[in-house]
Structure 1
Amino acid sequence: MKSNIIRSVLSATALGVLSSSAMAHGDEEHAKPRTFDASKVEATAFGQEGNPKKVSRVIHVGMSDHMRFSPATISVKRGETVKLVVRNDGQILHEMVLGTKEALKEHAELMKKFPEMEHADSNMAHVKPGKAGEIIWQFTKAGEFEFACLQPGHFEAGMVGKVLVK
């Protein structure tokens, strides 16, 4: 039932985005800098947007045109707020999206159908070649989660990593 709700929300979001005149997922600027607002933070199965004032650690992650993240696995403590600095060392647009394995798979399928879909959530960073982006995230639940590049074809090529929350 939960996956049906997620699927419905993703479908509704995609339709809403597609009906708007502002669609971008290619080389255009993807998201405006986020301003943290504690009243708008939404809990997810893999954590929530983190308060920049409570960052306890910075983790650097590289992305390459070999469709890999480096490191491919990161470990954090439950409750920890980290800043993920995501660097694109390649020549094409890449992104890092945090989520559960199932949610990332569903989102990747949606991206295949709607490659120009615009989205800018707190759990993702879209990074042009030679640039860096960041995600500030609080990992509130223990478990194994993932991050992936959901640009069409990248996820399928294996551009996926793991987050181990202990």
Structure 2
Amino acid sequence: MLLRFLLSISILLGSPVALAEGFVFGKPASPESATRTVEIEMGEMYFKPAFVQIKAGETVRFVLKNVGNFPHEFSLGYTAMHREHREAMLRMQAEETLRDHGHGAHAHLAHAGPNTLVVEPGQAGELTWTFYQPDWLQFACNIHGHYQAGMIGQMEIMP
């Protein structure tokens, strides 16, 4: 009941609600608890597949393979969350440039939260998540310019 109330308030205000045990749409989980594995290829400004359906209550292990030439991010969230995330990354990058005169390249990528993973070129990574209830989310790369170039996927959490 409380979760539904928080979700309703979140939707009305247009802002995601982070809960102590995770986010309004779910929480991190251990790979051993996964009931399903979804492989996602990350390339130059795309995710393949770009649409994923999940069942509410399901725990999914995402295996993320970066086949591109640049670091890419896999971040679960709502549109507003991604916008805030990109703005925070730009601020961090600007502060880093001022502080290090550009020598600490990509240090701003190391801030990933529990719903986000950065995968370097030619590498793979995993993120496991339990989804609470029916919803629509995006998975996106919020590295500067990538989201704007279309590196966004859609996720439907079905009943």
Q: TM-score, normalised by structure 2?
A: 0.75
Q: Deviations over 1:129-151 (max 9, x none)?
A: 11101110001121100111011
Distance 1:106 1:141 in 2: 23
Distance 1:163 1:70 in 2: 12
Q: Deviations over 1:112-164 (max 9, x none)?
A: 22224331322111111111011100011211001110111111111111110
Higher CA-based Rg: 2
> Which stretch shifts more, 56-65 or 112-121?
112-121
Structure with a larger share of its residues in strand: 2
The answer (yes or no) to whether the contact 1:63–1:88 under 8 Å persists in 2 is: yes
Helix, strand or coil at the partner of 1:130 = coil
1:156 aligns with 2:148: yes
Helix, strand or coil at the partner of 1:156 = coil
The gaps in structure 2 that reach 5 residues or longer are 1-8, 94-106
The gaps in structure 1 that reach 5 residues or longer are 10-40
Cα–Cα, structure 1 residues 4 and 101, in superposed 2: closer, same or farther, change >3 Å? closer
The AA in structure 2 aligned to 1:48 is K
Q: 1:55 deviation in Å?
A: 0.5
Hey, what does 1:68 align to over in structure 2? 46
Q: 1:5 deviation in Å?
A: 8.5
The AA in structure 2 aligned to 1:160 is I
The AA in structure 1 aligned to 2:130 is Q
Hey, what does 1:135 align to over in structure 2? 127
The answer (yes or no) to whether the contact 2:138–2:152 under 8 Å persists in 1 is: yes
Which segments of structure 1 move beyond 3 Å, counting only runs of 4 or more?
Answer: 1-6
1:97 aligns with 2:89: no
Counting only pairs closer than 5 Å after superposition, residues 39-78 of structure 1 correspond to structure 2 as 42-65=21-44, 67-78=45-56
Cα–Cα, structure 1 residues 53 and 107, in superposed 2: closer, same or farther, change >3 Å? same
Distance 1:102 1:155 in 2: 13
Helix, strand or coil at the partner of 1:164 = strand
Distance 1:159 1:78 in 2: 25
Percent of residue pairs bearing the same amino acid type = 35
User: RMSD between aligned alpha carbons?
Assistant: 2.2
Structure with a larger share of its residues in helix: 2
Work out which of the residue numbers 116, 125, 128 in structure 1 matches 2:117. Answer: 125
Q: 1:109 deviation in Å?
A: 1.8
Distance 2:62 2:43 in 1: 16
